[in-house]
Structure 1
Amino acid sequence: MHFTLEEHTLANGLRVVVQPDHTTPTVTVNLWVGVGSRHEEPGRTGFAHLFEHLMFQGSAHVDNGEHFQALMGVGGRLNATTWFDRTNYFETIPSGALELALWLEADRHANLLAAVNQANLDNQRDVVKEEKRQRYDNQPYGQALSTVYATIFPEGHPYHHPTIGSMEDLDAASVQDVHDFFTAHYAPDNTVMTIVGDVTAERAVGLVEQYFGHITHAAAPRRGPVAPLPPLAEPVRVEVLDEVPNDRIHLAFRLPAEGGDTRQEFLAASMALDCLGGLSFSPLEQHLVLDQQVANSIDVGAMGFVDGVSLGLVVADVAEGVDTDALEEQICAELTAFADEGPTPEQMEAVRAQAERGWLSSLAAKDERADIIGHYTCLHDDPEYVNTFLDRLGEVTPDDVRAAAHKYLRPQSRAAVVYRVAQQQEEVA
């Protein structure tokens, strides 16, 4: 499968990637803005995520909530997300509504600040606080990942704090602070627009030029990535006593950055985690969940970041009556054995097939395809990665996977965040 991509950069720096696909009469517009929580300064956390909300609250020529109403009214669907390295905005609409979508996007990307007043800021601060209560504070293990980030990445590191940010920082933010953040980051030369669907490249680029070409504002200078973080030299841990359903072990590891010279090494480390716990016959799954039944479940995964480091995770739900420390020791023993011996041919074949299947499944949908293209264009300057990933996957050898596990997934390099069930106090009659 090969996708034909047309690239064009406007005079104002906006990078446009078009992938025509006439299979259905729909178009996806996806914008990746190069600002996430890693770009926030101390005392100003949560701003990137706040803007994901503010961008739907109106702009110079669009009323509060009208962005959603206008596109949903023509049969479209739309949303936005915030992460460490970026914020993205996306909609899939009937092809006849492409101009409407571009006009709406241009108005908020060029003229948002006309609508960012004290009332809107206060309203969206409250919305973010409620989201934090629901997703973080009042969910079992809701603070687990935030604790992982704070434990494995040092104070002051770009990935030390979660994207939701600090509510104290948001409470202290003035309208001017918020305006300054938008001015520094939301500009054509810090944005990638991907258009996938029922439109020719010529028409798509022409429409983007028509609606975005007049925006001349430039983003503040981008800083380079921070120095790479090596694996932890010795284990660190945080114990959390909480009212949770069962004990849960989170083991986190520093992995290499997803892009640049370490791209293949990151892929090998990701495949190592999948070999360890991502298959029905992976050692963590087979030995600890199926055979010994000391864990209810084992989940593994790699989060690819760009600022000098990425993150690998092994998460185990402890079975009732099982000693949590003993289970952690068993997991560590499996990590050591894998780092010493490497993957079996069967594991490599299955992990490669699983990754290929997931990749092709994602590319089948226009909205996911647009997001993948935007990801690798914005963060890695490589839109063609959509066509080369499977080749790169095939180039990873068993020795590469063993070497990555040996370097990054040794037990002594782990940050452990362990949740333990808080014992209920017996009522005294």
Structure 2
Amino acid sequence: MPLHYTLEQRRLSNGLRVVVQPDPTTPTVTVNLWVGVGSRHEEAGRTGFAHLFEHLMFQGSEHVANGEHFQALMGVGGRLNATTWFDRTNYFETVPTGALELALWLEADRHGRLLPALTQENLDNQRDVVKEEKRQRYDNQPYGTALARIYETLFPEGHPYHHSTIGSMADLDAASLQDVHDFYARHYAPDNTVLTLVGDVTVERAVALAETYLGPLQQRSEPRRPDLPQLPPLTTPARLEVTEEVPNDRIYLAFRLPVEGGASRHDFLAASMALDCLGALSFAPLEQRLVREEPLANSVDTSAMGFVDGVSLGLVVADVAEGVDPDRVEAVICEELERFAADGPSPQMMEAVLAQAERGWLSALAAQDERADLICHYTLLHDDPGYINTFLDQVAEVTPEQVRDAAREWLRPEQRAAVVYRAADGEHERPAGQNSAESDAGTDEENDQEVVA
């Protein structure tokens, strides 16, 4: 049965897009704002600014004291946070219905009147916070820099996805207060923002409140450049070897995928489903051979990350079993990639992947805050808030032949970028490969989102 969440989209005169999804089942409202600025919008020498602003936005604004945003909303029973990613920064809170106006007033103040509170003291303080975050969550965590190394190995120098959202600490140290003010003025504007309201509010009231509190904001963002053309797969494998004190050897194989959305949306779905068939099922070939039959690995995972600026990312990750040579594990993965590209998925694989997609999608939509986030995602990046209702239909249209063809085009062994971690005290220790991609840039969990708290 098709999904039919009621959605209303309006654009205010200042360019702000407002999407409302009424849901009176609980007396709460989720307020979610996606700003069209992430690490891919940063300039050379100015990396880490998008994530820095995620922190600065909680340090006060013209009419709100430092820390008061959290205090005011948590004081009325709300929960809130923010994250940064390649393509956007988002700010969100779920509050009791009666606190909706408070939440919108607070958002309006920091999204339109942050600069009076953006002092040198606040900048210096939050730079130190970001540095400590990088030390604790990236540099001092096993495999903490893995995704950053993957981005730098898979995507060419100068590409917007070449560096991770945590950015360069040297760039942040070099940033002046004027640099930071300019970044805010270029990107934080209503015509570069989507506001989604999901919960116990009517469309009429939601739009009226958005107009009252965010309608007066009149700044304009800098013009957006067109997205880059599709980045083709690698023609020869790329490789980076890292020797560190990690619990076990681990292999990351990364692949360039079609962009998510637009004319490539179907191609991205097919490639994503190919990865699910390969490793995200209990009877998937990588799981069966590497973990259950031989066994060569403690675990294997596959995933796809959808991006919009010329490329997406596919991953195969294997935790190597004790005493096993990682090169053997990598060779087996490559054999299974070749076999899948030749044979394609079985009917049982397709059925299981579709069921898995349905379960995950419906579970996400059942949560008010996750539903608001998905609406913001597909509105800001794809101008399609209704995608929450059509996603499962589009997945169901993908054929086994299209999944096989996607694997043949995007997931061949020669197209891989391998980042291999070898335990420093392991049996197969050898010096890390020298590669200009190796850096101090950090990464978060699988989706690499930076979180305030």
Structure 2 letter corresponding to 1:216: Q
Residue of structure 2 in register with 1:266 after alignment: 268
Task: Give a deviation string over 1:248-274, Cα, whole Å, max 9, x none.
Answer: 000000000001110010011000000
TM-score of the superposed pair, with normalisation by structure 2 = 0.93
Tell me, in whole angstroms, the C-alpha distance in 1 between the residues paired with 2:132 and 2:383.
36
Task: Give a deviation string over 1:75-106, Cα, whole Å, max 9, x none.
Answer: 00000000000000000000000000000000
1:228, distance to aligned residue in structure 2 (A): 1.4
> How many equivalent residue pairs?
425
One of 382, 397, 400 as aligned partner of 2:402: 400
Secondary structure of the corresponding residue to residue 316 of structure 1: strand
The answer on 1:336 being equivalent to 2:338 is yes
Tell me, in whole angstroms, the C-alpha distance in 2 between the residues paired with 1:406 and 1:6.
40
One of 374, 386, 396 as aligned partner of 1:384: 386
Residue of structure 1 in register with 2:157 after alignment: 155
Residue of structure 2 in register with 1:170 after alignment: 172
Residue of structure 2 in register with 1:117 after alignment: 119
Residue of structure 2 in register with 1:197 after alignment: 199
Runs (4+) of structure 1 exceeding 3 A deviation are none
Task: Give a deviation string over 1:314-357, Cα, whole Å, max 9, x none.
Answer: 00000001111011000100000001110000000000100011
Residue of structure 1 in register with 2:148 after alignment: 146
Superposition pairs for residues 256-295 of structure 1, below 5 Å?
A: 256-295=258-297
1:291, distance to aligned residue in structure 2 (A): 1.2
1:135, distance to aligned residue in structure 2 (A): 1.1
Secondary structure of the corresponding residue to residue 381 of structure 2: helix
Residue of structure 2 in register with 1:185 after alignment: 187
Superposition pairs for residues 50-65 of structure 1, below 5 Å?
A: 50-65=52-67
Tell me, in whole angstroms, the C-alpha distance in 2 between the residues paired with 1:342 and 1:241.
36
CA RMSD after TM alignment: 0.9
Residue of structure 2 in register with 1:13 after alignment: 15
Q: Equivalent pairs: percent with the same residue? A: 75
Residue of structure 2 in register with 1:420 after alignment: 422
Task: Give a deviation string over 1:3-39, Cα, whole Å, max 9, x none.
Answer: 1111110000000000000000000000000000000
1:424, distance to aligned residue in structure 2 (A): 7.8
Secondary structure of the corresponding residue to residue 425 of structure 2: coil
Residue of structure 1 in register with 2:235 after alignment: 233
1:2, distance to aligned residue in structure 2 (A): 0.9
Tell me, in whole angstroms, the C-alpha distance in 2 between the residues paired with 1:267 and 1:125.
39
Tell me, in whole angstroms, the C-alpha distance in 2 between the residues paired with 1:393 and 1:239.
36
The answer on 1:302 being equivalent to 2:304 is yes
Tell me, in whole angstroms, the C-alpha distance in 2 between the residues paired with 1:293 and 1:80.
41
Superposition pairs for residues 78-117 of structure 1, below 5 Å?
A: 78-117=80-119
Tell me, in whole angstroms, the C-alpha distance in 2 between the residues paired with 1:343 and 1:417.
27
Structure 2 letter corresponding to 1:173: A
Tell me, in whole angstroms, the C-alpha distance in 1 between the residues paired with 2:361 and 2:10.
26
1:423, distance to aligned residue in structure 2 (A): 2.6
One of 365, 368, 385 as aligned partner of 1:366: 368
TM-score of the superposed pair, with normalisation by structure 1 = 0.98
Structure 2 letter corresponding to 1:277: G
Tell me, in whole angstroms, the C-alpha distance in 2 between the residues paired with 1:203 and 1:193.
14
Tell me, in whole angstroms, the C-alpha distance in 2 between the residues paired with 1:411 and 1:329.
9
Task: Give a deviation string over 1:224-267, Cα, whole Å, max 9, x none.
Answer: 11121100001010000111111100000000000111001001
Structure 1 letter corresponding to 2:21: Q
Tell me, in whole angstroms, the C-alpha distance in 2 between the residues paired with 1:222 and 1:229.
19
Structure 2 residue ranges without an equivalent (≥5): 428-453
Structure 2 letter corresponding to 1:23: T
Tell me, in whole angstroms, the C-alpha distance in 2 between the residues paired with 1:25 and 1:246.
48
Tell me, in whole angstroms, the C-alpha distance in 2 between the residues paired with 1:389 and 1:422.
44
Superposition pairs for residues 210-221 of structure 1, below 5 Å?
A: 210-221=212-223
Structure 1 letter corresponding to 2:172: L
Tell me, in whole angstroms, the C-alpha distance in 1 between the residues paired with 2:164 and 2:290.
31
Residues 424 and 325 of structure 1, relative CA distance in 2, 3 Å threshold: closer
1:419, distance to aligned residue in structure 2 (A): 0.4
Secondary structure of the corresponding residue to residue 46 of structure 2: coil
1:290, distance to aligned residue in structure 2 (A): 1.0
Residue of structure 2 in register with 1:346 after alignment: 348
Residue of structure 2 in register with 1:129 after alignment: 131
Secondary structure of the corresponding residue to residue 23 of structure 1: coil
1:310, distance to aligned residue in structure 2 (A): 0.2
**More relative contact order, 1 or 2 (CA 8 Å, 6+ apart):** 2
Structure 2 letter corresponding to 1:87: T
Tell me, in whole angstroms, the C-alpha distance in 2 between the residues paired with 1:194 and 1:422.
48
Task: Give a deviation string over 1:340-397, Cα, whole Å, max 9, x none.
Answer: 1100000000001000110000000110000000000000000110111011011100
Secondary structure of the corresponding residue to residue 61 of structure 1: coil
Residue of structure 2 in register with 1:69 after alignment: 71
Tell me, in whole angstroms, the C-alpha distance in 2 between the residues paired with 1:368 and 1:353.
20
Tell me, in whole angstroms, the C-alpha distance in 2 between the residues paired with 1:137 and 1:264.
37
Tell me, in whole angstroms, the C-alpha distance in 2 between the residues paired with 1:345 and 1:262.
24
Secondary structure of the corresponding residue to residue 389 of structure 1: helix
The answer on 1:325 being equivalent to 2:322 is no
